[in-house]
Structure 1
Amino acid sequence: MKLVLGRDDLAAAALAAVREAGAQPERVDIKPVHKASRGFVNASDADLCEVAIVTVLQALAYGKPVLLLPVTTLGRHQHQTLVTLGGLSVADVEGHSVGVRAWSQTTGVWMRGFLTEQYGVDLRKTQWTTYEGHHVDGAEDPSWVSRAPQGSKLPADFLQGRVDFGIMGNELPSDDRIHTVVERAHEVAEQWAKDQGFIPVNHVVGVSEAAAAERPAAILAAYDAMRSVLGAQEEGGDVALHPVGFEGLRGAFTKAAAYALEQDVIPHPVDYDELVERTCTALGVPPSRLGG
């Protein structure tokens, strides 16, 4: 049974639990972990895999055999990810150029959602540039988005002024000229999370339909083990940084799905309850077994 998890603590717990459940686990170490998504979604070359929340949404929209194990492996605020070098503000996004690594990158989906919802930005009045394709076969960039020349990299284009804004998370370069576009981004992000009842979720755990049907006990054991690790680490606060369980993830999935549909990341709505039902049916358990 092949597992791809970026966090060592979650991987260790899941491996031990799967072994205890009678399966033979193997951790496939792929860094950065998002590079495992394409093979998992399109070829089921892993049984349990850490994936971006938007990758799960696209997989469902395009009929891939992917289910959700409701565990958040990465949650974080996102308002700080829109950056610029000049004196531009959120009011200048329309009519200027913005680069993002991939149109389906979860950080980009969250940030563009904030732009439309909180700042009234019309995304189609902005010059968008992407640098990579999608993890899910069949997904394409919208017609109103351009692809950078092959070999181009967002950090370089941004620092050299070929795009006015960049949406970047971990790939943000270190340069004193860079500043966050959203004023008081941290305060705004915290207030948004309080209002919504959740912090934006980046990565969750996906399970192949075949693995769920063939090894349900091992999958459930892995869920329990990861839930225990995250529960022990969760600090007190208004909202959970790493929610676990179907109800814990409902807000983030529902909002991300709405943003993704608005941005043409997915071709049609994705129903969260259908995902819950499919997962529970495959595992042979009621939703309450997985925090539903």
Structure 2
Amino acid sequence: MKLVLGRDDLAAAALSAARAAGSEPERVAVKPVHKASRGFVNASDVDLCELAIVTVLQAVAHGKPVLLLPVTTLGRHQHQTLVTLGALSVADVEGHRVGVRAWSQTTGVWVRGFLTEQYGVDLRKARWRTYEGHHVDGAQDPSWVERAPAGTTLPADFLEGRVDFGIMGNELPSDARIRTAVAGAHEVAEQWSKDQGFIPVNHVVGVSETAAAEHADAVLAAYDAMRAVLTAQEQGGPVALHPVGFEGLRAAFTKAAGYALEQDVIPRAVDFDELVERSCAALGVSPTRLGG
């Protein structure tokens, strides 16, 4: 049983628990962790894999053998990831060039959702540029999005002025000129989460259908172990930073699925209960076993 998890503490807990459940787990090192997504989704080359939530939604919408194990490995605020260099602000997105690594990048889906819901932006009136394709075979950028020339990168295009705004999380370059397009972005993000009652989750855990059938006990043991680690680390804030369990993730997935459908990231609606039912059926458990 092969696992790809970015966090050492979660990986150690999952490996120990799976081993105790009778499996022979192996951690496969992939950095950055999103590089493992394509092989997992399209070829099931590992059994348990950290995934962006939009990758889970795309995989299910395109009929891939991917199941959700409801563990958040990365939860963070997102409003601060829309950045600019000049005097522009979030009010200027329409009519300007906006770069994002990939159209299906979860950070981009969240930010575009904020732009439409909070700031009234018509996404089709911005000039969108992407730099990578999708992790899920069969997924394509919308016709109104352009692909950057081969060999170019978002950080370089942003710093050299070929795009006016960039949506960047971990790939944000270090430059004193950079500022958030949303004024007081961190405070706005915190208030958004308080109002919504959840954090805009980035990464969760996916399981292949084959692994669920062949290693159900080990998968469930890994879930329990990771849940214990994350529960012990929660700080008791207004919303959980790393929610665990189906009910803990329902609101974030439902909102992200709505955004993804509106933005032509997924070809059909994906209801959260579909994810719950598929995972439970494959693992042979009731929703309550996984925090439902």
TM-score by length of 1: 1.00
C-alpha distance in structure 1 between counterparts of 2:290 and 2:203, whole Å? 17
Trace 1:47-86 onto structure 2 (pairs within 5 A): 47-86=47-86
Q: CA deviation at 1:114?
A: 0.2
For residues 12-65 of structure 1, the C-alpha deviation after alignment (integer angstroms, 9 at most, x for no partner) is 000000000000000000000000000000000011000000000000000000
C-alpha distance in structure 1 between counterparts of 2:91 and 2:236, whole Å? 35
Unaligned runs of 5+ in 1: none
Q: CA deviation at 1:271?
A: 1.2
SS at match of 2:131: strand
Trace 1:193-204 onto structure 2 (pairs within 5 A): 193-204=193-204
Unaligned runs of 5+ in 2: none
Letter in 1 for 2:153: K
SS at match of 2:139: coil
Which residue is 1:8 aligned to? 8
C-alpha distance in structure 2 between counterparts of 1:274 and 1:92, whole Å? 38
Name the count of aligned residue pairs: 292
SS at match of 2:98: strand
Letter in 2 for 1:68: L
Trace 1:39-188 onto structure 2 (pairs within 5 A): 39-188=39-188
C-alpha distance in structure 1 between counterparts of 2:5 and 2:173, whole Å? 25
Letter in 2 for 1:53: I
C-alpha distance in structure 1 between counterparts of 2:180 and 2:159, whole Å? 14
Runs of 4+ displaced beyond 2 Å = none
C-alpha distance in structure 2 between counterparts of 1:117 and 1:234, whole Å? 29
C-alpha distance in structure 2 between counterparts of 1:115 and 1:163, whole Å? 17
C-alpha distance in structure 1 between counterparts of 2:90 and 2:128, whole Å? 15
Letter in 2 for 1:55: T
C-alpha distance in structure 2 between counterparts of 1:202 and 1:234, whole Å? 17
C-alpha distance in structure 2 between counterparts of 1:250 and 1:215, whole Å? 25
For residues 218-242 of structure 1, the C-alpha deviation after alignment (integer angstroms, 9 at most, x for no partner) is 0000000000000010101110000
How many percent of aligned residue pairs carry the same amino acid? 84
C-alpha distance in structure 2 between counterparts of 1:232 and 1:281, whole Å? 29
